[in-house]
Amino acid sequence: MSDATQSQPILQFENLEIHFPIRRGLLGRKIGDVKAVDDISFSIQKGKTLGLVGESGCGKTTTGKGILRVYNPTGGHIYYKGVDIATMPKAQISPFRRELQLIFQDPYGSLDPRQSVHAILKEAITSERRPHSSQEITNRIKELLQAVELDVSMGDRYPHEMSGGQRQRVGIARALACDPELIVCDEPVSALDVSIQAQIINLLIKLQKERQLTYLFVAHDLTVVYHIADVIAVMYLGHIVEMMDAKDIYCKPMHPYTKALLSAVPITDYYVEKKRKRILLEGEVPSPIHAPLGCPFHPRCRFATDECKRTMPQSCDVGGGHQVACHNLGTVTD
Amino acid sequence: MEKKKILEVKNLRTSFFTPSGEVKAVDDVSFHLNEQEIIAIVGESGCGKSVTQMSVIQLIQSPPGKILGGQVLFAGKNLLEYGAHSAEMRKIRGAGIAMIFQEPMTSLNPVLTIGQQITEVIRTHKKCSQKEAWRTGVESLGAVGIPDAQECMHKYSFQMSGGMCQRALAATAIACRSKVIIADEPTTALDVTTQAQVMELLLSLVDKFKTSIIVVTHNLGLVTRYTDRVYVMYAGKIIESGTTEDILMRPWHPYTRGLLESVPKLSAEKDKPLVPIQGAPPRLQDLPPGCAFMSRCTYTLSECQNEFPMLRRVGPNEHWAACHLESGVDKP
C-alpha cells in the first residue's frame, strides 16, 4: 500500500457518513438516526481490489451503495477520479453511473425473470444514449457472453433456465456492458455452492486483469476476500476497525474483532482444526440505533477496559499502511 | 464398543416424474446414524441431499415425487410402511425426527409469535396444558442460548436476526426431545461468526439431550470440527463415505477432492488461483450410463464411460468410495 499512496487513487472516501433518520408519530418527527456508516475513510487504486468484510448489519453494503448514490451520504466526501460524487446533485450523477457498476448478491432476484439473457444485456448496452445498430448489439452480446465464459447459445435462455453460477455470470456480463471503471461486488458469491464460488472468483480476477477493473468487494467471508482483495478493511457497526494489506491478514491481525472473524473461518485440514483454539464471539452485533458509547466492539470484546466504554479509539498506523482502531493493542493476545 | 444405530436408511430411491422424464433424485442411497453422533451429507445443489432427508420424514410432494423403494429404519420400524399422511408418521415428525430447514426466516410463520409456534409443536405431541407447554418452550429457548427466553416467546420471526431464528427452530426441535435432528443447510444463510455459533449449539445438543444429528451442507469446511462421519453425494448417489478424518485427509474420489480444493483457504498462497470443479452437475434426467462425474473429472479411465462404479471399501474404518481409480486421488 505504501507505494500506491503516491499515485492518485481512483476512489477515495473521506469521513463518509450515511445516516438514516428514524421518524415517529403523525408528523414524522425525527427522533434519532441509524448510523449505518459512520466516519469511514479509505481509498482504492486503479486496477486494485478493496475487500470490505463484516457481519450482517455492519454497513458494508450501504457503503457500496453509497458510491452509486443509491443511498445519499449525509456527510463526508467520495472522490471518484478527483470529483466529489457524494455532494453532487443527483441529476448530474448519471454519466458516472455507467462507469460505476454493481453486481448483486442474489443473481436470481437481480435478473428480470421475463427477460431473456439477450434482452437483459441489450438493455444494459443501449443505456448508452446513442444509436446502436442491431449488428453492433449482437456482436457486443456475443463478446460479453464470451468474456464471462458462457456459451453464446445461452443468450436465448431465461434466468429460471440457468443454474446459480450461470446467472451470476449473466449479472457480471451486465455490469461489464457499460465498460465500467469500478465495480461494486456486493456478496457476489455468498449464495453459490462452494465449487461454483471458486469459478466465479477466478472469473472476477481474470476480468480485472484483462480490463484493468477496480473492485470494491463486499463480503462476510474472510477467505473469499483474502483471495480476491489487495487491501482488506474490516467493518464493525459502521466503522472500519482494521485495514491492512491482504497478505497480512492471516499472520498479522491485530484487532480483537478481526481475530475473532479469522477464528470463525472453517478450515478443512482435520489435524490443524482439531488442535486449533477458537474464539467464539458471544451475542450479536448491536443495533446501530442504540450503538454503544466508546468503541463499538466493547460489549463483545474480551479485552475491553473502562477506556473502551468511554472513548472511541482513533485509527492509528502501525506500519506499512496497516491501520487499527483499538485502545489495547499491547494487551490483545490470541 | 459397537455403537447403536438410531436411524438406518437402506437402498432408498425417490424419483420425480416430470414432463421431461423421470428424475432420479435419490438413487439407491444407504446410510446410517449412530446414537449421539453427528454425520454430514455433503454435495452441490441438486445432488439429492435434501430430497434424501425429505424422504426420510416423507415430506415429498406427491405428485410429482414418489418414494419408489428402500427402507427407513427408525427405532426398529420401517417408516416407509406407514403412509405419508398416517397418524404414526405425524407422531414421528417433530417428536422422533425433527427438521431444521435452510432458511430460518422463511420456515417460521411470520404472523405467529415464536411462543405460539413452539407451544403448538409441544401440544401436538404431548398432552399438557398451555401453561406447561409455555414453560417447556421457555426452557428450550434458554437451552439453545437465547438470552431473554421469556421475552423471545412473544416475538415474531421478523423481529429477530437469522441466527436467533435458527436457534428458535432448534429449540422447537428439542422441545419434544427428538431423538434425531436433521439440519438442512443450517448455516448457509448466516454470517461466518453466527455459523460457528449455530454449529457449536448443535454440538452441545448432542451432549445435553443425547440427540443424534444429520447435517446437510455443501461446504466441506464446515464438517471438520463438528462431525464424526461424512457422506458425499453426487447426482443422486452416495459416492464416498467414511470418518471425517478419512474424507478430509485421504479423499479417494476425485469429486471429494474437488470439493475440498474449492474451499478458499487462508493458509493458501494468495496469488495462486482457486481450483474450482469445472462445469456444473449433470441434469438428472439424462445421466450417462457410466460414472456421472466423468465429464468433470480429470482422472477419467476407459471403464468410466460405460460402467457405473459400485461403492467399494477402500480403507479401514469403513471408508467407502464409488470410483474406478485403483488407488484413489493424490492427497490435495
Q: Say which CATH number the domain at A286 has.
A: 3.40.50.300
CB–CB of A198 and B275 under 8 A?
A: yes
Interface test mutation site (partner A, options B50, B106, B193, max chain A beta carbons within 10 A): B193
Residues on chain B touching A266 (C-beta within 8 angstroms) = 195-196, 219, 221-222, 224-225, 263
**B83 pLDDT tier (thresholds 50, 70, 90):** confident
DSSP-assigned states of every residue in A98-137: HHEEEE-S-TTTTS-TTS-HHHHHHHHHHTSSS---HHHH
Q: Does the structure show a pLDDT above 80 at B137?
A: yes
Residue predicted with more confidence, A9 or A280: A9
A205 inside 8 A of chain B by CB: yes
Q: How far is residue B138's CA from residue B126's CA, in Å, rounded to a whole number?
A: 16
To 10 degrees, what angle do helices B130-143 and B114-125 make?
A: 110
Q: Is B103 buried (19+), middle (13-18) or exposed (0-12) by CB count in 10 A?
A: middle
pLDDT of B174: 85
Query: Which sign does the torsion angle of CA A18, A22, A27, A29 carry?
Result: negative
Residue B218 Cα, gap to closest chain A Cα (Å): 6
pLDDT tens, position by position, B26-74: 989 999 999 999 999 998 888 888 899 999 988 888 888 889 889 999 9
Q: How confident is the model at residue A201 (pLDDT cuts 50, 70, 90)?
A: very high
Q: Is the pLDDT of residue B329 over 80?
A: no
Looking at residue B145, its pLDDT comes to 80
Q: How far is B167 from chain A (nearest CA, A)?
A: 12
Q: Are strands B38-42 and B229-234 parallel, antiparallel or unpaired?
A: parallel
pLDDT class for A5, splitting at 50, 70, 90?
Answer: very low
Q: What are the residues of chain B with a beta carbon less than 8 Å away from any beta carbon of chain A?
A: 44-45, 147, 161-164, 191-197, 200, 218-222, 224-225, 244-245, 248-249, 258-260, 262-268, 270, 273-278, 280
Q: What is the mean pLDDT of chain B?
A: 87
Give burial (CB, 10 Å; 0-12/13-18/19+) of B72.
buried
The residue that leads in pLDDT, B269 or B97, is B97
CB within 8 Å of B112: residues ≥ 6 apart: B120, B156
How many Å lie between the alpha carbon of B189 and the closest alpha carbon of chain A? 8
Q: How far apart are alpha carbons B98 and B142 in whole angstroms?
A: 19
Inter-chain CB proximity A164 and B192 less than 8 Å: no
Burial of A26 (0-12, 13-18, 19+ CB in 10 A): exposed
* Residue B64, preceding peptide bond in cis (omega within 30° of 0): yes
Residue of B nearest to A200 (CA): B276
Sort strands B65-74 and B5-18 into parallel, antiparallel or unpaired. Answer: antiparallel
Q: Give, to the nearest 10 degrees, the angle between helix A164-176 and helix A117-126.
A: 20
Q: Contact at 8 Å (CB) between B190 and B202?
A: no
Region A103-115: mean pLDDT is 87
Q: Residue A1 above 60 pLDDT?
A: no
CA distance A123 to chain B (A): 28
Q: Cell 465495480 sits at which residue?
A: A183
In A, residues 296-315, which contact B (CB 8 Å cutoff)? none
Determine whether the interchain pair B196/A264 forms a contact, defined as Cβ–Cβ distance below 8 Å.
yes
Check if A275 contacts B (Cβ < 8 Å): no
Q: Is residue A333 part of a domain?
A: no
In three-state secondary structure terms, A317 is: strand
**Triad A207, A210, A211: Cα angle to 5°:** 80
| Contact in structure between B24 and B236 (CB atoms under 8 Å) | yes
Q: What type of residue is A152?
A: V
Report if residue A331 sits inside a domain.
no
Spell out which residues of chain A touch residue B233, defining contact as CB-CB under 8 Å: none
Asked whether the beta carbons of residue B44 and residue A193 sit closer than 8 angstroms, the reply is yes
Contact A271 B191 (CB under 8 A): no
Mean pLDDT of chain A: 87
Give the chain B residue whose CA is nearest to the CA of A283.
B147
Quick one: which of A112, A4, A111, A95 has its CA closest to A49? A4
A154, part of any domain: yes
Cβ contacts of B148 on chain A, cutoff 8 Å: none
Query: Is the ipTM beyond the 0.85 threshold?
Result: no
Q: Among all chains, which residue has been given the C-alpha cell 438406518?
A: B8
Q: How far is A32 from chain B (nearest CA, A)?
A: 19
How far apart are the C-alpha atoms of A315 and A89, rounded to whole Å? 31
The answer to whether the CB atoms of A195 and B262 lie below 8 A apart is: yes
> Cβ–Cβ of B266/A264 closer than 8 Å?
no
Residue of B nearest to A166 (CA): B280
Which residues have a Cβ under 8 Å from the Cβ of A210 and sit 6 or more positions away? A147
pLDDT tens-digit map of A115-133: 999 999 999 998 877 888 8
Q: Is the pLDDT of residue A2 over 70?
A: no
Of B191, B270, B280, the CB nearest to A227: B270
Q: Which residues of B touch A205 (CB under 8 A)?
A: 273
Residue A135, in any domain of the structure: yes
Domain contains A297: yes
pLDDT exceeds 70 at position B117: yes
Q: Which residues of chain B neighbour A202 with C-beta distances below 8 Å?
A: 273-274, 276
Phi, psi for B308 (deg, rounded to 5): -75, 130
Please report which helix (H) or strand (E) contains residue B88, including its range. Answer: helix B87-95
Q: Which one of B199, B274, B283 makes the best mutation probe of the A interface by having the most chain A beta carbons within 10 Å? A: B274
> How much is the average pLDDT of B293-303?
86
Bridge partners of B22?
Answer: B17
Separation of alpha carbons A104 and B62, rounded Å? 35
Contact with chain B for residue A319, Cβ under 8 A? no
Flag whether residue A172 sits within 8 Å of chain B, measured between CB atoms.
Answer: no
pTM passes above 0.80: yes
Q: Per the domain annotation, does A330 fall within a domain?
A: no
What is the domain extent for residue A305? 4-324
Q: Any idea which of A139-148, B105-114, B205-214, B264-273 has the lowest mean pLDDT?
A: B264-273
A334 in a domain, yes or no?
A: no
Do the chains contact at A196 and B280, CB–CB below 8 Å? Answer: yes
Work out the minimum CA distance from B245 to partner chain A, whole angstroms. Answer: 6
The whole-number pLDDT of residue B38 equals 93
What's the mean pLDDT in A40-50?
A: 92
Q: Would you say A296 and A326 are in contact if contact means Cβ atoms under 8 Å apart?
A: no
Residue A74, domain member (yes or no): yes
**Shortest Cα distance from B210 to chain A (angstroms)?**
22
Say whether residue A141 is in contact with chain B using an 8 A CB cutoff: no
The CA-based dihedral angle spanning residues B314, B317, B318, B319, taken in that order and rounded to the nearest 10 degrees: -40
Q: Which residues pair with A101 in a beta bridge?
A: A183
Domains contained in chain B, CATH given = 5-227 (3.40.50.300), 237-321 (no CATH)
Cβ of B266 within 8 Å of Cβ of A223? The answer is yes
Strands B38-42 and B212-217, by their bridges, are parallel
- For the ranges A294-308, B61-75, B274-288, the lowest mean pLDDT is seen at B274-288
For residue B259, pLDDT over 50 is answered with yes
Residue A247 at interface with chain B, using a CB cutoff of 8 Å: yes
Number of domains in chain A: 1
The residue with cell 461466518 is: B192
Q: How confident is the model at residue B2 (pLDDT cuts 50, 70, 90)?
A: low
Q: Do A221 and B265 touch (CB under 8 A)?
A: no
Q: What is the pLDDT of residues B148-189, one digit of tens each?
A: 888 889 999 888 887 888 888 888 888 888 889 999 888 877
